[in-house]
Amino acid sequence: MGDQIKLSAGNADFEYPVLKGSVGPDVIDIRKLYAQTGKFTFDPGFTSTASCESALTYIDGDEGVLLHRGYPIGQLAEHSSFMEVSYLLLNGELPSKSELEKFELTISRHTMLHEQLATFYRGFRRDAHPMAIMCGVVGALSAFYHDSTDISDPEHRKISSHRLIAKMPTIAAMAFKYAVGQPFMYPDNKLSYTGNFLRMTFGVPAEEYEVVPAVEKAMDRIFILHADHEQNASTSTVRLAGSSGANPFACIAAGIACLWGPAHGGANEAALNMLREIGTPDKIPHYIERAKDKNDPFRLMGFGHRVYKNYDPRAAVMQKTVREVFDALKVDDPLFETALRLEEIALNDPYFVEKKLFPNVDFYSGIILSAIGFPTTMFTVLFALARTVGWVAQWNEMISDPGQKIGRPRQLYTGPTQRDYVPLDRR
């Protein structure tokens, strides 16, 4: 028998098995706790709770490690492509050359959207936030692709996963085009996944669009860095929505809604807005003081992470990518200097040192995306596009698990106890 943890409640002792993963902290299996003790555990924000078993992504927040199916994020960002990482996340192994070609071809065959969806966009205001459009359009996909929503059929799950990964760049580019008032661009499957997305976003029918290889590479790397991140808020949302048997398009729309928040995917937009507000390095001390002031809600956006208590490995790759994009586009942005200086000052300040607050993936991504030409409102959309592969991989993993149950947390009730209804004229 493996390790057990003993819990004393009243006069009785209970033993709970300790489960071991391949790496990382052990977990205490408390599934029988309520039945045996009549008590729940209390863990708001799930800071000490493993909500599921997963073989996809591993994070060691203290060491700054991020692995997808065992492969370090730095190696994947350096040597692979987003399509390769997508295959890896979905299938568990890196593809052979022919497997990758087949996968890319399959994805490219699903890049077009049902033509009726174009009219769907026209129901939104032109100034709608593109994340609002993403929530609506992705949620609506189930109405257009109902032939792949039988979640008990592995073939349906595969097709809907491919559809989601393939259509997300088209949907995101159309959200951009709608805001700027330019015609929607159809996909061009001669291009790579990422090249195609850049053309659909920045190309216009009147002119030939040339994909700049360095920008394509940087964008692809940004997608890799955002592909999956274990049981974060939006992924847990997708799993929770999916646990009721909801169709995959609805589940991913739920993930997009969760990602939108400024503490999660919305942080890249907030980080660049913050850097713009700070402006020049001489203003940094004022903002550092504000971030430290308990009475001021201001936080350094792009700093801190629930899991990383050491440098976010994705931030290091991002910082390097800023220079590559600046060189390729022959641009410079004084905000990069401000960001580097802010990082240096914060990392030497006892407040940030003691709380282990380091730059996260979003601290530098906004600078790159802005140099490429994206407005801040599109930043979280790009995160959603990339994270879709993680969401569908996690969703598939959950649905394929025969022991899967509907997610149903309990609570510590602190409201009034039972009382009698008082008629309106006596209140």
In the complex, which residues of this chain contact ligand CMC (CB under 6 A)? Answer: 229, 232, 263-265, 267, 291, 299-306, 355, 357, 360-362
Residue 362 catalytic? yes
Residue 21 beta carbon to ligand CMC: minimum distance, rounded to whole angstroms: 21
Residue 309 beta carbon to ligand CMC: minimum distance, rounded to whole angstroms: 9
Residue 307 beta carbon to ligand CMC: minimum distance, rounded to whole angstroms: 8
Residue 28 beta carbon to ligand CMC: minimum distance, rounded to whole angstroms: 21
| Catalytic choice (226, 229, 305, 312) | 305
For residue 238, the Cα-to-chain-centroid distance in whole angstroms is 11
Q: How many CA atoms lie within 13 A of 403 on its CB side?
A: 4
Concatenated DSSP letters for 310-340? S--HHHHHHHHHHHHHHHHHT---HHHHHHH
Picking from 85, 65, 407, 70, the residue whose alpha carbon sits closest to that of residue 235 is 407
CA distances from 205 to 102, 175, 190 (A): 29, 17, 16
- Residues written for the chain: 427
Residue spans of alpha helices (H) in 227-361: 233-243, 248-259, 267-278, 284-292, 313-329, 334-347, 350-354
Residue 290 beta carbon to ligand CMC: minimum distance, rounded to whole angstroms: 9
Residue type present at position 88? L
| Catalytic choice (43, 362, 401, 425) | 362
Cα–Cα distance between 156 and 137 in angstroms, integer?
20
Cα–Cα distance between 391 and 238 in angstroms, integer?
7
The residue of the chain with the least Cβ separation from ligand CMC equals 304
Concatenated DSSP letters for 75-120? HHHHH--HHHHHHHHHHSSPPPHHHHHHHHHHHHTT-SPPTHHHHH
Residue 265 beta carbon to ligand CMC: minimum distance, rounded to whole angstroms: 5
C-beta atoms surrounding 26 within 10 Å: 14
Residue 226 catalytic? no
Cα–Cα distance between 192 and 92 in angstroms, integer?
22
Residue 43 beta carbon to ligand CMC: minimum distance, rounded to whole angstroms: 13
105: its two tokens: 């071809």
103 vs 303 by CB, closer to ligand CMC = 303
Q: Are 264 and 255 in contact (CB under 8 A)?
A: no
CA distances from 243 to 42, 92, 235, 406 (A): 21, 22, 12, 5
Please identify every residue annotated as catalytic: 305, 362
